[in-house]
Structure 1
Amino acid sequence: MSSGVSTSTDKNIVDRTRSHRNKAVSKAVRATRDRLQSSSNGNFAFDRDMLSIHIGSGLQAALMTPLVVAVVTAIGFYLNPDIHIFAWALLMLCLHAINVLLARRASKVEITAADTRKWRRRLLTGHILLGCGWGAFALQGCSTCAGDSFYFYKGAVLLFAVSYTAMSTFMLRQSVLYGFVPMIAALLGIAILSGQVLDIGLTAMCATAVVFFHYVAERLYRSNLTLMSYQSEKDDLIAELEVAKSMSDEARRRAEEANLAKSRFLASMSHELRTPLNAILGFSEVMSSEVLGPLANPTYREYSGDIHRSGQHLLNLINEILDLSRIEAGRYDLTEDSLSLLEVAEDCIGMVQLRARAKSITIRDQFEKHMPQVWADEKSMRQVMLNLLSNAVKFTPQGGEITVKVGWTAGGGQYVAIKDNGPGIPEEEIPIVLSAFGQGSIAIKNAEQGTGLGLPIVQAILAKHDGQFILRSKLREGTEAIAILPSTRILQSVPAIADAPPIERRRKSFA
């Protein structure tokens, strides 16, 4: 099983099991959801919005009622040429004008949450007055009309009035029910006084229509309330997400600044850290070598050797930390020149050969012949190969085998692959070992522990060369590390141009 790793220089491992949302933002989002998902009976958060929508739609449809009244008056005068129908029309227009003026006044003022109920009562009163006009129409009669034509006309007009009012005023709750109480009362009085079946049937039909359209208007009101709730929730959540994003961006910016300051500090401390260590290494080596004379006590000689080895180990650790810090701070400059990966690989194998023989490890090479040179930083490429070879020797057991390959990639680049038959790395731990200071469980159990910076430095160096690093490993089967340089780094040899004879050069110049 293999795993390809990108060459990004970001070494932070993200723990996706943790919640990264800000607590204050999460609390605000939960409060918003609780407020919007509360029962509609006690939720008045959108009453003002509903009232504003009702006022706006009423003003836009202000000409519909005069048109309806004109049509009803014309048909009524045709059926019953009586002057009372014009009086009713004048009354309806006056009552409608009152409603329009009330709506205009409401649209010009800023309705606060405290004024919502007051304006709602005023608008309901206006609709009740308009309902009184329809009640006056219900009192209209026709003594000269033959048959049931006038009953049909009056019933059709009243049903239309109920349905039209329900569709145009459903944003104002109870407007249908309260507005047509006068009409139902008028029809009920006529039915009681006359006792005729047609009057009773008309009353029952209109009362049923009022109840039905009140139910329809209530359903429409609830649907619009739900839509407004969802819209408000969406807007609030977007606002909270924007706040969370800005907080996250600010936190990331501060973290990046702190990380950059740390890297710059460590990079600038190179001389200050290395100078005393070099003095310690030099004096301890002089003491252990007894250059100035023999040490009387052999224990002192042993201690001086320990000091030299510990100082050398500490210097190597500091060098790795400083290299990574310079890379992260953008101060790691490449000194590029032409070099041969084959020669660099052979030199690095020779450097680790002594340690490999101490563990009876066999190092086999599989090099492709006659490979052209590449354009790279020789010091950096040596560091890459030495890190990979040192890891292979460190984790390969006694009597193991390491294979070093140098060859061509499918894309025309060159690669160096180092494979061992050690314990391997679990697949889920590969991102950990590729992170800064990260070590797998095998490395933790191993006696030869390091800083965990070797592979991150390899990734960063290859990224500087526009290359790629791939780590493949399988538990109990070994690990393969592949360093790839792109085809743009390959130096192609160009054949030399032979000089033309003097006569040919003279002919070309004249031509």
Structure 2
Amino acid sequence: MGSLAPDMGDDKYAINRQRAIRRREMARSVKDVRSRLGAPRNRHTTFDLERQHLFADTRINAAFAVPLLALIVAAISVLWVSPDIIAAWFAVTICTHFLMVVTSHSYEKASSDQKNKSCWRRRFAMGDFIYGSSWALFFMLPMTTDAGDGFVIFQFATLLIVVAMNTMQSATLPRCLLASTLPMTLVVTVSFLRQADPIHYTLAAMAIGAQGFFFILGNQLLKNANTMLEYRADKDHLIAELETANAMSDEARRRAEAANIAKSRFLATMSHELRTPLNAILGFSEIMKDEVLGPMQNNNYQSYAADIHGSGQHLLNLINEILDLSRIEAGRHELHEEALLLDDVVEECGTMMKVRAKAKSISLHHAHEPGLPRVWADERALRQVVLNLLSNAVKFTPAGGDVRVKVGWTTEGGQYVSIKDTGPGIPEEEIPIVLEAFGQGSHAIKSAEPGTGLGLSIVQALIGMHDGRFSLKSTLGEGTEVTVSLPASRNMNYSEGVTTGFGSKDMPKSEQTRSA
């Protein structure tokens, strides 16, 4: 065991160090995202790397689509242009296209530091200019004498298709968009304006208009890309915040578990360390109080011994209640269930409380409904519940008051115990306080009634372990009624007749087994 302790300590230190490193990384990530999102300049400028990545990714994905389009254009152009010239143009276009693809692949494989360099944007712009110029050569190819207007219309349609394609590919980098489309538009416009026919003037004007339209479309696509990147950054920011919150939650849970272990160890130690001297204090003070070894000459000493004995018992009860509540909260309190009559438990507790009630001239009234069956429950736990509730009722009921106890059926078919007193009651705003551990109402504080404030917490916990319910109703100046109930699932499938009144019963004594 001794050799395992250092290993466990080292493992715990390593885990804590990893958590600390993780929190620092999360903090840096959150700080970077916040600095980007909170920059006073245009937020779009902060997404240069992301937009370059989109540009390169689009080029790579269109690696085989562009050659297919160029092949179709070349095949149709053979009707008006010499095949040798078309083949040469096709080869040049394919080479410029794959040059851009290779450049995009190189960018994707580059490290983050290399991607930050501005040379990549110049390379992309230059590559797109060369690529656009290769398509511009198509509109300068010499055509045969009998080509007619068909080739002109085909050239204009090709211009629209290629400009649209380049707009979609280069929209994330506006400089590249202009570099890939302007050469074609300028060549086609100049070529059409050199002709004297009205149709050529019309097509030249439409080419310029198409260039403007696709440029505006490219700007809109750029805005959409920036919006998408902003949403992605917000999502990353939220994920980073959640990761940080999760790390903090893990750390808080670890600390809570460590504190709970420390509390359990403390309670286990203190229960032994306090109970041992308390037993001696209670024993000797009781001997002195009862004058077992002879009468005391001074009456004050006898009073002091009684005070010591009472204080010791109060402290012992406090320790026991704290330990009971701790065991219940830790899930270590086991129920030893058996078939029992709930009214028997209530009657026994009432008998135990008769002395205290008689000392304050308080009348105890007990009633129950007939035919109540046995319940499957822990007798010790139910006795503790009823004693705590009866003790509170007698404690806070003034002299000459009444405490009424009733056992009966719930509306769901279970059984309940109701304890109602004629005490001062509890203000509505103080009810949540008295239901908490160590919580006490203003009346208990003013009257300095001895108590720990743990009784109702223990009652709620024990009833909860039986799947039951706890309710407290109080009216200021009229009294308080506390009801605990057990579910119908804990009823046994037989009943026995019981009559009212403490100390009188009319029931068979034979035990009956519970059927399935």
- TM-score, structure 2 as length reference: 0.78
Alignment deviations for residues 219-257 of structure 1 (CA, whole Å, 9 cap, x no partner): 223322322332343244334423432431342233134
**Partner of residue 171, structure 2:** 170
Mapped pair 1:122 → 2:123: yes
**Partner of residue 217, structure 1:** 218
**Partner of residue 499, structure 2:** none
The amino acid across from 1:418 in the alignment is I
Alignment deviations for residues 408-448 of structure 1 (CA, whole Å, 9 cap, x no partner): 33454432221234444455654443332233445444431
Distance in 1 (CA, whole Å) between partners of 2:33 and 2:282 is 66
**Partner of residue 363, structure 1:** 364
The amino acid across from 2:254 in the alignment is R
Distance in 1 (CA, whole Å) between partners of 2:296 and 2:367 is 49
- 1:56-95 equivalence runs, <5 A: 56-79=57-80, 84-95=85-96
1:473 Cα offset (Å): 1.7
**Partner of residue 385, structure 1:** 386
Q: Closer, same or farther in 2 for the Cα pair 1:423/1:155, shift >3 Å?
A: farther
1:383 Cα offset (Å): 1.9
Distance in 2 (CA, whole Å) between partners of 1:376 and 1:479 is 26
Report if the CA contact (8 A) 2:100-2:128 is conserved. Answer: yes
1:128 Cα offset (Å): 0.3
Q: Closer, same or farther in 2 for the Cα pair 1:480/1:145, shift >3 Å?
A: farther
Aligned Cα RMSD in Å? 3.7
How many residues are matched?
Answer: 474
Alignment deviations for residues 84-140 of structure 1 (CA, whole Å, 9 cap, x no partner): 555544433333343334334444544645455322221221110122123333435
Q: Can you give the 5+ residue segments of structure 1 that lack an aligned partner in the other structure?
A: 1-21, 497-511
The amino acid across from 1:351 in the alignment is M
The amino acid across from 1:311 in the alignment is G
Mapped pair 1:300 → 2:288: no
Report if the CA contact (8 A) 1:162-1:176 is conserved. Answer: no
Q: Closer, same or farther in 2 for the Cα pair 1:275/1:369, shift >3 Å?
A: farther
The amino acid across from 2:225 in the alignment is N
Distance in 1 (CA, whole Å) between partners of 2:275 and 2:192 is 111
**Partner of residue 437, structure 1:** 438
The amino acid across from 1:407 in the alignment is G
1:44 Cα offset (Å): 5.2
Report if the CA contact (8 A) 1:176-1:213 is conserved. Answer: no
The amino acid across from 1:247 in the alignment is M
Secondary structure at 1:472's aligned position in 2?
strand
Mapped pair 1:480 → 2:477: no
Secondary structure at 1:364's aligned position in 2?
strand
The amino acid across from 1:152 in the alignment is I
Report if the CA contact (8 A) 1:406-1:414 is conserved. Answer: yes
Report if the CA contact (8 A) 1:397-1:422 is conserved. Answer: yes
Report if the CA contact (8 A) 1:267-1:326 is conserved. Answer: no
Secondary structure at 1:227's aligned position in 2?
helix
Report if the CA contact (8 A) 2:49-2:115 is conserved. Answer: no
1:468 Cα offset (Å): 1.8
Distance in 1 (CA, whole Å) between partners of 2:337 and 2:66 is 87
- 1:160-309 equivalence runs, <5 A: 160-187=161-188, 189-190=190-191, 198-309=199-310
1:333 Cα offset (Å): 4.7
Report if the CA contact (8 A) 2:136-2:187 is conserved. Answer: yes
1:263 Cα offset (Å): 2.9
Distance in 1 (CA, whole Å) between partners of 2:24 and 2:91 is 64
1:407 Cα offset (Å): 1.9
1:328 Cα offset (Å): 3.7
Report if the CA contact (8 A) 2:337-2:378 is conserved. Answer: yes
Report if the CA contact (8 A) 2:413-2:488 is conserved. Answer: yes
Q: Closer, same or farther in 2 for the Cα pair 1:25/1:431, shift >3 Å?
A: farther
**Partner of residue 55, structure 2:** 54
| Higher RCO (C-alpha under 8 Å, 6+ residues apart) | 1
Secondary structure at 1:230's aligned position in 2?
helix
Q: Closer, same or farther in 2 for the Cα pair 1:238/1:449, shift >3 Å?
A: farther
1:453 Cα offset (Å): 0.8
1:47 Cα offset (Å): 3.3
**Partner of residue 14, structure 1:** none
1:23 Cα offset (Å): 12
1:480 Cα offset (Å): 2.6
Report if the CA contact (8 A) 2:29-2:240 is conserved. Answer: no
Distance in 2 (CA, whole Å) between partners of 1:211 and 1:299 is 109
Secondary structure at 1:459's aligned position in 2?
helix
- TM-score, structure 1 as length reference: 0.78
1:492 Cα offset (Å): 5.1
Q: Can you give the 5+ residue segments of structure 2 that lack an aligned partner in the other structure?
A: 1-22, 496-507, 511-516
Distance in 1 (CA, whole Å) between partners of 2:480 and 2:24 is 43
The amino acid across from 2:348 in the alignment is D
Report if the CA contact (8 A) 1:471-1:479 is conserved. Answer: no
